């Protein structure tokens, strides 16, 4: 367990670096991609040699961002010139993927900038704000202290990060400060209409097939307090879906009236089941439930990767949620 550092300490360290790598978590969401690009392009603007790495490909949905093609898979070993590995939006090294985790272990110096309250402070220097709505919200004041001008491409990447991590500025994490930050990014040149059209109004046909599958086959539990859907390998193959197509499924069922917890169970090829959890009740902290099974995340949005058969894993996790619901009743 490392120590927490001040923004000023992090800035002084970053200012003296010449070659850095910015890395974020696998299966990247908007905050992972936007924070990687926003920080990466800002450090480039300061004249640094910058690598940007994410273990899985940048999702199609975020490919419009300027600089998105600069984000590549991390190399197996750290290039010799890289003085520091900066991890963004990543609560623990294993979320970077196997390659990223080994890079954290071997890098001469690491910096961890994040907003997961479960962050393990795994880096040499750590700047973690567990109450921040997105990692990008931690980055903007950092970039200000670094005196990097917010260009339109940098602002757009950071805007996508904040927009997606707050559910389009809808979650309770959307404080006055978050709205002010959004306003600043728009002032810096974000084309709000264009960004939102690309993020939310350009869904591929496969996404519609997936949505209809989920709506037709979702299950209710505990009198509708829990809504869940399971995707087996066989079913995914029948539907001709890639893994990436299943990412935001939990948001489709989360909106059911009366539901307090929504889950997606997804059978993986390697004998694991991937579970996405969402809570709609602050009294039900799904990251605490996820932690019982080696997972983590935020109180209202968490994930688990658990070994076992789909039906058994589902039974075990649903039982844990019923227990929590029962304790609150
Ligand atoms: Mn995030």
- CATH 3.10.310.30 range(s) for the chain read 205-328
pLDDT number for residue 113 = 98
Cα 162 to ligand 1 centroid, rounded to whole Å? 8
Cα 115 to ligand 1 centroid, rounded to whole Å? 7
pLDDT digits (tens, 9 = 90+) for 185-244: 999 999 999 999 999 999 888 888 889 999 999 999 999 999 999 999 999 998 888 765
What value does the mean pLDDT take over residues 174-189? 98
pLDDT number for residue 1 = 62
Instruction: Output DSSP code: residue 307.
Output: E
Cα 300 to ligand 1 centroid, rounded to whole Å? 12
Cα 32 to ligand 1 centroid, rounded to whole Å? 6
pTM of the model: 0.91
**CA neighbor of 266 nearest in space, from 247, 253, 282:** 247
pLDDT digits (tens, 9 = 90+) for 52-69: 999 999 999 999 999 999
Supply 108's token pair.
Answer: 């001469």
**pLDDT bucket at 246, cuts 50 / 70 / 90:** low
Cα 80 to ligand 1 centroid, rounded to whole Å? 29
Show Cβ contacts of residue 264 under 8 Å, excluding neighbours closer than 6 positions: 214, 228, 229, 230, 231, 246, 249, 250, 253, 275, 276
Cα 329 to ligand 1 centroid, rounded to whole Å? 31
- CATH 3.90.1640.10 range(s) for the chain read 7-200
Enter the CATH code of domain 7-200.
3.90.1640.10
pLDDT number for residue 247 = 61
pLDDT digits (tens, 9 = 90+) for 250-262: 999 999 999 999 9
pLDDT number for residue 184 = 98
Cα 198 to ligand 1 centroid, rounded to whole Å? 20
Q: Is 33 within 8 Å of 159 (Cβ atoms)? A: no
Q: Is 55 helix (H, G, I), strand (E, B) or coil?
A: coil
Is 245 a residue whose pLDDT tops 70?
no
Is 277 a residue whose pLDDT tops 70?
yes
Q: How many CB atoms lie within 10 A of CB 180?
A: 10
Mean pLDDT of the chain: 95
CATH class of 205-328: alpha beta
């Amino acid at each position: 367990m490392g120590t927490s550092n001040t923004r000023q300490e992090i800035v002084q360290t970053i200012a003296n670096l010449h070659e850095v790598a910015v890395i974020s978590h696998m299966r990247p969401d908007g905050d992972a991609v936007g924070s990687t690009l926003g920080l990466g392009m800002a450090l480039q603007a300061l004249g640094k040699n910058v690598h940007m790495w994410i273990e899985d490909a940048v999702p199609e949905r975020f490919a419009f961002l300027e600089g998105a093609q600069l984000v590549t898979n991390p190399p197996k070993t750290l290039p010799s010139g890289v003085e520091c590995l900066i991890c963004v939006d990543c609560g623990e090294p294993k979320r970077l993927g196997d390659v990223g985790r080994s890079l954290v272990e071997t890098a001469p110096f690491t910096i961890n900038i994040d907003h997961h309250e479960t962050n393990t402070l795994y880096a040499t220097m750590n700047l973690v704000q567990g109450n921040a709505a997105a990692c990008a919200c931690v980055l903007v004041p950092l970039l200000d202290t670094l005196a990097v001008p917010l260009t339109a491409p940098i602002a757009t990447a950071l805007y996508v990060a904040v927009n997606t991590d707050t559910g389009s500025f809808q979650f309770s994490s959307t404080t006055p400060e978050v709205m002010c930050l959004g306003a600043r990014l728009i002032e810096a040149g974000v084309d709000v209409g264009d960004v939102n059209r690309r993020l939310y109004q350009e869904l591929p046909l496969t996404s519609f097939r997936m949505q209809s599958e989920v709506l037709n086959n979702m299950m209710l539990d505990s009198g509708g307090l829990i809504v869940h859907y399971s995707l087996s390998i066989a079913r995914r193959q029948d539907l001709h879906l890639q893994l990436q197509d299943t990412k935001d499924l939990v948001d489709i069922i989360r909106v059911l009236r009366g539901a307090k917890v929504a889950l997606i169970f997804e059978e993986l090829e390697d004998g694991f089941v991937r579970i996405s959890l969402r809570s709609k009740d602050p009294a039900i902290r799904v990251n605490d439930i996820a932690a019982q099974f080696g997972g983590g995340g935020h109180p209202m949005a968490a994930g688990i990767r658990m070994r076992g058969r789909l039906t058994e894993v589902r039974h075990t996790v649903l039982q844990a949620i019923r227990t929590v619901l029962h304790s609150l009743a």
